[in-house]
Amino acid sequence: MEIRHLHYFMAVCEELHFTKAAEKLGISQPTLSQQIRVLEDELGMPLFDRIGKKIVVTEAGSLLFSYATEMLTTLQNVKDAINDLQELQRGQISVGIMPSDLDYRITQLVIDFHQKFPKVKLMILASIDIMRQVLENEVDIGIGTNVEPDDRLVIIPLRREEYVLTVSQEHPLANQTAITIAELKGLPMVMYPEGFFGREIVEEAVKKHGFQLHSILETSSVTSIMNLVRANIGATVQPYHLIQQINDPTLCSIRISDGAPSRSLSIIYRVDRYVSQATTAFIKQIKEYFKA
């Protein structure tokens, strides 16, 4: 069994169409079909059932797909490790992070890292589904929120952050230093739409007190939320450290004194993923940055 046979097989599994798989691989369809037959002859079992113009993966094919995925991942890790030994300060790192943190939290972190490792290309991707991105190898590492233990992941805790009520300096509550959760009831709010993680954290907290947020405007952009709050359209509830980073004197943060919503931030990556020297250095810098 040759590595190229596994690549051919995986392409057919992904496309479930020999012609499309052949085009993706840059070979002819007859050549691909012949190579798959060679692999089937070697294994002694069919890998695909051909039903007219459609194909389906057999039980043997499903088993091979599972092991081939692991084998090709391991092979890529070997290549990455060898490349990493050749030159420690090169390569590319892709990072998944919440949109709000990307907008306001990590600019200085990225600048500092680039100055230390100018040959390393950073790709910072905003996402509200970071765990899926990491598990599906769409990113190398993620900075996740309230990550549950998972055998497939390495989880490195960073910090826990409390949420605060944030209002315009023109808001009636602007001079208060603290507020109870009960006092949030009926307060006009500008928030993320339902289903967004930041919204759900706050909703879970107020639900324990028997009510829901009174959301009058919703947007998926934290920049828009803060602009609406500045215009005194409504209040919002956001992580305190995020508001600190925005550093806007026209915004007032009010501590929630009893059972404030909170989130925990963690670095996550797959346990079977090779972690390059550059990625290790970036993880170290993330930890130092959030610790500070």
Here the CATH number for the domain that contains residue 273 is 3.40.190.10
Same domain, 219 and 279: no
- Burial (CB count within 10 angstroms: exposed 0-12, middle 13-18, buried 19+), residue 267: buried
Number of domains in the chain: 3
Two tokens, residue 24: 């993706």
Same domain, 150 and 279: yes
Same domain, 25 and 139: no
Of the residues 85, 106, 136, the one at which a domain ends? 85
Same domain, 140 and 170: no
The pLDDT value given to residue 89: 58
Same domain, 246 and 104: no
Same domain, 135 and 195: no
Q: How confident is the prediction along the chain (292 residues), in pLDDT tens digits per residue?
A: 788 888 899 999 998 988 899 999 999 989 998 999 999 999 999 999 987 778 899 999 999 999 988 888 888 888 877 776 555 556 789 999 988 888 788 888 999 999 988 888 899 998 888 999 999 999 999 999 999 999 999 999 999 999 999 999 999 999 999 999 999 999 999 999 998 889 999 999 999 999 999 999 999 999 999 999 999 999 999 999 999 989 999 999 999 999 899 999 999 999 998 888 888 889 999 999 988 7
Of the residues 85, 113, 146, the one at which a domain ends? 85
Rounded Cα gap, residues 177 and 112, in angstroms: 34
Strands (E), the chain: 48-51, 54-57, 91-97, 120-126, 141-145, 153-168, 178-179, 188-191, 214-218, 236-239, 251-256, 262-270
Same domain, 143 and 278: yes
The pLDDT value given to residue 90: 64
The pLDDT value given to residue 87: 55
The pLDDT value given to residue 275: 86
CA-based nearest residue to 230, from 165, 162, 171: 171
Same domain, 147 and 272: yes
CA-based nearest residue to 98, from 269, 281, 263: 263
Same domain, 200 and 80: no
**CA 203 to centroid of chain Cα atoms:** 22
Same domain, 273 and 142: yes
Under DSSP, is residue 245 helix (H, G, I), strand (E, B) or coil? helix
Of the residues 85, 111, 137, the one at which a domain ends? 85
CA-based nearest residue to 201, from 243, 266, 259: 259
Structural domain of 56: 3-85
The pLDDT value given to residue 105: 82
Same domain, 195 and 234: yes
Same domain, 257 and 167: yes
